Structure 1
Amino acid sequence: MFELLIGLRYTRAKRRNGFISFIQLISIAGIGLGVAALIIVLSVMNGFQEEVRNRILGMASHITITGPGSALGNWQAAAQTAEQNPHVKGTAPYVLGQGLFTNGSQVKGVLVRGIEPAQEPKVSEITDKMLVGSAADLRANEFSVILGWNLAQELGVTMGDKVTLITPQGQVTPAGLIPRLRQFEIVGIFKADYYPYDANLALIHLSDAQKLYRTGDAVTGVRVKLDDLFQARQVAREINRSLPELIVADWSQENPSYFRAVEIEKRMMFIILTLIVAVAAFNLVSTLVMVVTDKQADIAILRTLGASPASIMKIFLVQGAMSGVIGTASGVAGGVLVALNIGTIVPFIERLIGSQILSADVYLITELPSKVISSDVISIGVISLLLALLATLYPSWRASRVNPAEALRYE
């Protein structure tokens, strides 16, 4: 196709007017920067979403089974029913309560979780999160506790120290309602790298929790771990059909506002940054209009040699599309390169500015994660190319409407 050859030649040729070449370079650079920014932002959001989800589920559970009154009596039967599902890898009971830990003048509100040390590793990564001690050190009737490392720092305690737990359930005495207090010995400290757990979670033995919160033989519920967390909703429905009298919830239902907010934010960022790419792509309109004006004599000569208006239009479509291809390709390459090395780039910037970009108590994590998804990169590249091609339609149509006689009158 001679239109393709001439269009590619026009793309490489030097302009008589250097300003046109400068404007074209700016347009290509704008497309590249927009595409790179879109890839980097989406990759960081993908990485953030996956990282936080994994850290939440590392200490939480894929599915929870609870009773209608926040108490599950025959939890063994519920666990056995859940384990019959082929996707279930393990189950473990738990008792959940709130309280205040005190150490001298230090007071901290906490979420207390009673666990069965032998079964807990089946549903959480507690054994991999321990800095000191072990989950096996929690023994019944010894009233020992494992704290998150931020919680231990705030209370100013370490291994072997004792802390006092005050529970909301009080004791009625002739002097009135007195809070229930119990002293616990610290036998372990974990670090989940997820601030809400590290600063607010304490683990005690299941039987101690049952005594402390007066649940008897009942538990709060049963935690379930699956071989694929993305099957949680379907598996929860299947378990619920077998246990219709109980409440079965998956991880997305327990954290609905967070995951919905991240998904909405990701979509909005995609739309906003796509508009930036669109603005850069439509800069090609002004570039090609100036190119058409500059090449009117060439257009007239091609028309007199027999080129049709459609051929002239194709020539400038090729030229504009090549600018879009170059900008998109450079943006994809740069964006993917930065996204894959974001873990090195961000610490370097933090050292330069002398401060931490991500605060753990605000952003939940301290390191900026990144996950490049090929489908995102492909869709961004296709959208950028389509926008660039759309921007070339009007200038190319204007070129096809050039009158040879008028164009050559003053040549």
Structure 2
Amino acid sequence: MKFSLFLSQRFRHAKHENGFIGFIGKASSIGIGLGIAVLIIALSVINGFEYQMVHRLLNVVPHIEYEAPNAPISNWQTKIAKFEEDDAVIAAAPFILLNGMAQFKGKLKAVEIRGIDPKLEVKVSGIQTYIKSFELASLSQNQVVLGQQIVDELGVNLGDQVTLLIPQINEKSSKLKAAKKIKLKLVGIVKMGGPIDRITALVNLSQTQQILGFDSSETKGLRLKVADVFAANSLAMTLGYQLEDYVYVSSWFRKHSNLYQDIQMVRTIVYLVVLLIIAVASFNIVSTLVMEVKEKQSDIAILKTMGAKDSTIISTFMLQGLGQSISGIFFGTFIGVLLAIYIPDMFIWYSELSGKNVLTGIYFVEFLPSRLNLNDVIVTVSMTLVMTIIATAYPAWQASRIDPAKVLGQ
């Protein structure tokens, strides 16, 4: 093996009679390097979006919800206590969801009014992280917390009085009545990014109970936070059997599973496409080695007449091919890891330079997340090495088949 390594190094550093061979070899190495770099960066960004979805979006949106379409859920305090006895449930809280409009100085914005128990809500939701200068647990009956985009569109400031308009339906005629108006003081702003900022209006549960004519033990829905978010769909039905009320069962899969599935689909597509690119670059080494074998026929023949074994010739050219691949792997891994670490800062710099953030209002984050995973790097490098070994096997075997008598006799 040492002799094969020595020969491969001599062949690599020797001047080629045809410079085109060296050009193809370098192009193959660069192609492998760029493929690895792109794959590492792409997977890091995908990992970043997945991490942010689990620890940012799913930390705010309900994991499991039970909402009563008709009669309210009674004695919600007792039912929440029963839910929390289950080891799979971290916490539970009541809510009342209403659609309405927010009004300020003649401007209107559609909002999703969510009546919450402030002290219980902070246990099931991490939205407090995105509310500055106000403790959600202290939300009183005459106060409201709005999303940043609602605040921007209405032009309202902290301390201003905002009017919430809630549609009313005549139970006898099923026709709309005049909307109920409630004036509340804006005390907090949710700045998270994405749809949460566009629709969120948080008010005290007692406020929505008064609107619907409920007493303090009645609510329209219960929200659960579970330990395993990916088991929420199955847990929703299992835990729901504890309720005697007629409710709609929902989990985060219903509203946001398409986002998670899109992330996984993009991961698969990126793997396939970029690995195919790396495979093409790896198999370009075949062309390099075939021409190299053709050029070095006389050298190979002399080596064989001196007693070199076929295995020595095979390992020599496989090592030469691996040498080209390893240089590309090293270059690609270094560039890929470096860019994967700094790409969030680069995105911020680009957004500031261009004056436009392409992620604003589209996704649940307004920055480009990146999370480098060592396993992704190892798998990428390993698969590239495997493809290189496969690619170099045939030309190396062809080199060992050279007949010294035919070559030297010409």
Relative to the length of structure 2, the TM-score reads 0.89
- Which SS does the other structure have where 2:218 is aligned? coil
- Which SS does the other structure have where 2:203 is aligned? strand
The answer to whether the aligner puts 1:388 opposite 2:405 as a matched pair is no
CA distance in 1, matches of 2:265, 2:51: 15
CA contact under 8 A between 2:164 and 2:184: conserved in structure 1?
no
1:50-74, Cα deviation, whole Å (9 max, x unpaired): 2133322232233334447584333
Percent of residue pairs bearing the same amino acid type: 35
CA contact under 8 A between 2:57 and 2:364: conserved in structure 1?
no
After TM superposition, give the deviation of residue 37 of structure 1 in Å.
0.2
1:6-50, Cα deviation, whole Å (9 max, x unpaired): 234433444343332222111111101100100101100110122
Matches within 5 A, 1:19-38: 19-38=20-39
**Which deviates more, 233-242 or 38-47?**
233-242
Matches within 5 A, 1:275-290: 275-290=276-291
Amino acid at match of 2:273: I
CA contact under 8 A between 2:162 and 2:186: conserved in structure 1?
no
For 1:222, the equivalent position in structure 2 comes to 222
Amino acid at match of 1:147: L
CA distance in 1, matches of 2:27, 2:238: 57
After TM superposition, give the deviation of residue 249 of structure 1 in Å.
4.5
Amino acid at match of 1:53: V
CA distance in 2, matches of 1:107, 1:204: 18
After TM superposition, give the deviation of residue 133 of structure 1 in Å.
3.4
The answer to whether the aligner puts 1:43 opposite 2:44 as a matched pair is yes
**Which deviates more, 196-205 or 232-241?**
232-241
CA contact under 8 A between 2:145 and 2:190: conserved in structure 1?
no
For 1:405, the equivalent position in structure 2 comes to 405
Relative to the length of structure 1, the TM-score reads 0.89
For 1:191, the equivalent position in structure 2 comes to 190
For 1:133, the equivalent position in structure 2 comes to 134
CA contact under 8 A between 2:119 and 2:138: conserved in structure 1?
no
Amino acid at match of 2:156: V
Structure 2, unpaired ranges of 5+? none
Q: 1:70 to 1:276 in 2, by over 3 A?
A: farther
After TM superposition, give the deviation of residue 206 of structure 1 in Å.
0.6
Q: 1:355 to 1:285 in 2, by over 3 A?
A: farther
Structure 1, unpaired ranges of 5+? none
**Which deviates more, 185-194 or 314-323?**
185-194
**Which deviates more, 378-387 or 251-260?**
251-260
CA distance in 2, matches of 1:391, 1:179: 76
1:218-259, Cα deviation, whole Å (9 max, x unpaired): 323222224554554565465346558766544334422221
The answer to whether the aligner puts 1:94 opposite 2:95 as a matched pair is yes
CA contact under 8 A between 1:317 and 1:392: conserved in structure 2?
yes
CA contact under 8 A between 1:64 and 1:249: conserved in structure 2?
yes
For 2:166, the equivalent position in structure 1 comes to 167
Q: 1:283 to 1:194 in 2, by over 3 A?
A: same
For 1:301, the equivalent position in structure 2 comes to 302
**Which deviates more, 39-48 or 123-132?**
123-132
CA contact under 8 A between 1:134 and 1:188: conserved in structure 2?
no
1:170-220, Cα deviation, whole Å (9 max, x unpaired): 34799x742322122233222342221112110011121123245555323
For 1:349, the equivalent position in structure 2 comes to 350
RMSD: 2.7
For 1:207, the equivalent position in structure 2 comes to 206
After TM superposition, give the deviation of residue 261 of structure 1 in Å.
1.6
For 2:114, the equivalent position in structure 1 comes to 113
